[in-house]
Every structure is written in structure tokens, then in C-alpha cells.
């Protein structure tokens, strides 16, 4: 099973994980991104994600297809939350299963890095002091560099 989606409700991680079970796959890797209580030295009370859902679904599917082409026999699922989230809530989840661990690790890293750089997602942080601010959703300006040909 492979797919990308945007969700306005809390994620069901056991169901996401179960969707990746494949009797031919012995490796599994997941990434969970949670809302943290601090960013750039400020205390965060929560945040809001705005997502251009139609474009995010197309781009998310393209990223998963790239990962399959790059890492071979993998199943991958990615979900990004939208709407208002509290500190500690799950904001993004990526899971990958594969016959062996190396491809699962590599594909999971590739996918989350690509999501952070390419998905049309905007984040507005709410601060403990009562104000809020739109912040950059990616880490750095350069795209990821996971171009290992031997990643399988």
C-alpha cells in the first residue's frame, strides 16, 4: 500500500502502520513529527497548518513515486495534518516498509525531507504571549541530498 493524504483529524498510527504490513517485507521505518513547545527561542502554545490540499496530494504522490523509483521494492504512506494542533500532537507521519532495513531508512528520510521542502503547507505558530506568526515549514533552503544510487 502506498499513498499520501492530508488529514484534518488526529492520525490513527496503528492503522497507518498496519497498511504497510507486507509478508515480503522485513524492514519498517517511520518518522513522526510532533508539535513542539519551543521554536527559535519562543514558547509555542500550538499551531495552525494551512494546506493547499489538491496540490499537496499531487506532490505527495509524486514524492512517494520518486522514492519507489529510487529505493525499489517499498511500500510508503505519508500523511500531513491540517488545521489547529496543540503542543504534542502528531503533525506529519511517514512510514515505509521494504524487504530490508536500508531501503526503509533511506526512503523514509528521503520522503520526509521532500515533504518539508515541496509540499504546499504553511504553518502559523501561536505563542504563549498571545501573538502568532507564520513560519517557514522547511529546514534550510537547499533541497535534500539523498542521491545514493546504492540505497537499496
The domain limits of the chain are 3-134
Sign, CA dihedral 138-140-143-149, equals: negative
pLDDT grade for 138, boundaries at 50, 70 and 90: low
Which of 97, 108, 109, 101 minimizes the C-alpha distance to 25?
97
Q: What is the pLDDT of residues 65-108, one digit of tens each?
A: 999 999 999 999 999 999 999 999 999 999 999 999 999 999 99
Residues 6+ apart with CB under 8 A from 88: 34, 35, 37
Share of the chain above pLDDT 90, in %: 88
CATH of 3-134, one of 3.90.1170.40, 3.90.226.10, 3.90.1150.10, 3.40.50.970: 3.90.1170.40
Report residue 140's pLDDT band, with 50, 70 and 90 as the boundaries. Answer: very low
Amino acid at each position: 500500500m502506498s499513498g499520501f493524504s492530508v488529514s484534518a483529524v488526529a492520525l490513527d498510527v496503528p492503522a497507518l502502520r498496519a497498511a504497510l504490513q507486507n509478508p515480503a517485507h522485513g524492514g519498517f521505518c517511520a518518522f513522526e513529527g510532533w508539535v513542539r513547545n519551543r521554536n527559535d527561542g519562543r514558547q509555542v502554545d500550538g499551531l495552525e497548518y494551512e494546506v493547499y490540499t489538491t496540490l499537496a496530494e499531487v506532490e505527495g504522490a509524486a514524492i512517494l513515486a520518486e522514492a519507489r523509483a529510487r529505493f525499489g521494492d517499498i511500500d510508503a504512506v505519508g500523511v500531513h495534518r491540517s488545521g489547529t494542533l496543540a503542543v504534542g500532537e502528531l503533525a506529519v507521519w511517514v512510514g515505509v516498509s521494504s524487504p530490508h532495513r536500508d531501503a526503509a531508512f533511506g526512503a523514509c528520510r528521503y520522503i520526509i525531507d521532500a515533504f518539508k521542502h515541496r509540499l504546499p503547507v504553511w504553518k502559523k505558530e501561536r505563542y504563549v504571549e498571545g501573538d502568532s506568526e507564520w513560519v517557514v515549514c522547511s529546514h534550510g533552503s537547499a533541497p535534500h541530498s539523498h542521491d545514493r544510487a546504492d540505497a537499496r
